[in-house]
Amino acid sequence: MIITKRLAAGACALLAALAGGIAPAHAADGPPKDSPKVELVLDVSGSMRATDVDGQSRMSAAQQAFNEVIDAVPDGVRLGIRTLGATYPGDDKEIGCRDSKNLYPVGQVDRTEAKTAVATLRPTGWTPIGYALRGADQDLGTDGGTRRVVLITDGEDSCGKPDPCDVARELAAKGTHLTIDTLGLVQDDKTREQLTCIAEATGGTYTTVRHRKELSGRIKQLVKRADTPVETPKPTQGTAECATAPELGAGIWTDREQFAEHRWYKVKVKPGQELRASAGVGADRAVDRDYGVLVRAVSEGGQELVRGSDAGSGRTDVMAAGLRYPVFKAKKDDKEARTVCLEVSNSFSAPPSVKRDPGLPVELAVDVVKGPDNPSDLAAFGLGRGWVLLAVLGVTGLLAGLLWGWLARWRVAVWREN
């Protein structure tokens, strides 16, 4: 009897040990390393005490919104929380402008722990946005997966250095595919301008929110967007001439281009295929009026094949242009790929006070698809080719002239009879 009880107790202990060993290991696994990562960066500065969000303080509204967001985090997303201005209440600017900490580490979310951490926050200090963004970049790491920062603040940076817009451009230039979305709890022009600049520098979005439900809904949307599979742009670096240009395959590529610069890239296109390419140049800083973007396809010998362009004047966020170029078979067994040189250039300029580095963000989309079989096919993106277009225009003009002449003679005849 005693032996039986001991065996039963031993078995129970073994099962408990196995269960205890298995459960933590399962929990520790969490989302894989290539899963998306999101860091929520929350302003906890003294101005968050203001009670203008649905009759409650900005801080209380943000805490409630965070609780809703934490409950709704998809299982495949690694989430973290960073604060700015949460700990130092004093007047020493040097200390206050380094007041940012990682409140909850990026990883699998323990909802109870994350909510408990958020509940401890009280409006306190300064608004070191630039410093916090650099910290968020480090929190997210570079171990794979998309990287997104969602910044929630009720005002512009109160420190000045580092400038948040410069930090956003700096992070974008690192090529680690960091996207920063910004949410403003106030609508003053300076805050909107700064938060828009931060977002646009990294391909993110800016949103003004006035109500708690809007805040939680927008953050949920951005966290869910991080979980949506998208093609990650690949960094490249164009050159000053086609001969030394990088060869690009189908996909989305990112680069940086100085004001009024020309950059070259190469694409291999086989006979029977059509090259489709578009390039967008972002105006992530103040630029002069009147600007344009040009995309050209050129042969290795320097002959222009086709071009696409766009131009504008006034305030813009991005200017884009595209082209399509089919490569036809010279003979039935023609299989040798052609090298098509792509030139992307811009005519942006800016006042001397505007920083030149890093250059303007460029996104280049390249695709190679099955092209039209007949060189005389005018449906290829409206491209007329040689004498075919000339003949069509000539015949059209002749018919229009004959019709107009006949109508004129008929009207004269009718007038004489009356």
CB 83 within 8 A of CB 241: no
Residues with Cβ within 8 Å of 4's Cβ and at least 6 positions away in sequence, in order, are none
pTM: 0.55
Residue 226's nearest CA partner among 105, 82, 74 is 74
- Per-residue pLDDT tens digits for 378-413: 444 444 444 455 565 667 777 777 777 777 676 666
Residue 13 has pLDDT above 70, yes or no: no
- Per-residue pLDDT tens digits for 264-291: 999 999 998 999 999 999 888 889 989 9
CB atoms within 10 A of CB 353: 6
Residue 6 has pLDDT above 60, yes or no: no
Mean pLDDT (whole number) for 34-63: 92
Q: If you average pLDDT over each of 29-43, 169-183, 299-313, which comes out highest?
A: 299-313
Mean pLDDT (whole number) for 362-371: 89
What is the pLDDT at residue 329?
82
Q: If you average pLDDT over each of 30-44, 140-154, 245-259, which comes out highest?
A: 245-259
DSSP state of 53: B
Let me know how long the chain is.
418
pLDDT band at residue 372, thresholds of 50, 70 and 90?
confident
What is the pLDDT at residue 186?
85
Mean pLDDT (whole number) for 156-178: 85
What is the pLDDT at residue 232?
65
Q: What structural domains does the chain harbor? A: 30-226 (3.40.50.410), 234-370 (2.60.120.380)
- Per-residue pLDDT tens digits for 77-101: 999 999 999 999 998 999 999 999 9
What is the secondary structure of 136-175 as a DSSP string? HHHHH-SSSS-EEEEEEESS--SS-SS-HHHHHHHHHHTT
What is the pLDDT at residue 20?
42
Which one is predicted more confidently, 416 or 20? 416
- Distance between CA 370 and CA 273 in Å, rounded? 4
- Distance between CA 116 and CA 84 in Å, rounded? 18
Residue 230 has pLDDT above 70, yes or no: no
- Per-residue pLDDT tens digits for 129-143: 999 999 999 999 988
CB 56 within 8 A of CB 204: no
Residue type, 235: P
What is the pLDDT at residue 382?
43
